[in-house]
Amino acid sequence: MNGLTMATVLPADAPANPAERLSALFDAHYARLYRLARRLAPDADAARDLVQDTFLRAARAPASVPHGASSEEAWLVRVLINIRRDEWRRAAVRARHAPLVPDARAASDQESAVVARATIWRALDALPPRRRAVVVLHELEELAIPAIASLLGISAITVRWHLSAGRRDLARILRPQMGATDENR
């Protein structure tokens, strides 16, 4: 009896059992989804909730998740962004009445790199979730525009439009920190 090792790769065809399917999905995509969620959500707790809600959508209807790593990833990423968009819309009124970015002078007065970084990061909160996702995927995950288009299921033109608008919005908000920086660089 020569036991197979548990390190054996998963079978090419996904497990038929929903629990096994979800286990496999989670193991394959959790880290990637958490990174994206952390960059889309306001804080780590919100990011974890976002990832959980994404996988719960898959748990409710595992048959709707396409097979294949890239198709799974695209499905999960789109669901995650849609959930984040719903949250963002619900919070939109509150956000409109709150300052998006703390006073930069107040932050600099504290001379805290942590506060400065948080200030910059909060500028992303001004972007609608899909635009923010495009900016994050391109600027931080370094995905090419066609890859982002494929992942999000939108056209390359739309990706470019979101990227351009996102950079412009961020540059406007971050101008005090940037000085005379070229916003499109």
Interface positions with other proteins (CB under 8 A): 1-11, 13, 15-24, 26-27, 30-31, 34-35, 38-39, 44, 48-49, 51-53, 55-62, 83, 87, 116-118, 120-121, 124, 135, 139-140, 167, 170-171, 174, 177-183, 185
Least distance between other proteins and beta carbon 18 (Å):
4
Please say whether the beta carbons of 146 and 127 come within 8 A. no
Least distance between other proteins and beta carbon 43 (Å):
8
Instruction: Look at the alpha carbons of 97, 103, 106, 111 in this order and tell me if their dihedral is positive or negative.
Output: positive
Which is closer to other proteins, CB of 136 or CB of 152?
Answer: 136
Which is closer to other proteins, CB of 133 or CB of 170?
Answer: 170
Which is closer to other proteins, CB of 62 or CB of 149?
Answer: 62
In angstroms, rounded to a whole number, what is the distance separating the alpha carbons of residues 67 and 145? Answer: 24
Least distance between other proteins and beta carbon 166 (Å):
9
Please say whether the beta carbons of 136 and 143 come within 8 A. no
Least distance between other proteins and beta carbon 99 (Å):
17
Please say whether the beta carbons of 32 and 41 come within 8 A. no
Please give the helix or strand (H or E) that residue 90 lies within, else none: helix 69-90
Which is closer to other proteins, CB of 98 or CB of 180?
Answer: 180
The one-letter amino acid code at 138 reads H
In angstroms, rounded to a whole number, what is the distance separating the alpha carbons of residues 168 and 158? Answer: 15
Least distance between other proteins and beta carbon 156 (Å):
19
Please say whether the beta carbons of 100 and 123 come within 8 A. yes
In angstroms, rounded to a whole number, what is the distance separating the alpha carbons of residues 74 and 79? Answer: 9
Which is closer to other proteins, CB of 4 or CB of 93?
Answer: 4
Least distance between other proteins and beta carbon 68 (Å):
17
Which is closer to other proteins, CB of 27 or CB of 109?
Answer: 27
Closest by CA to 80, choosing from 47, 45, 122, is 47
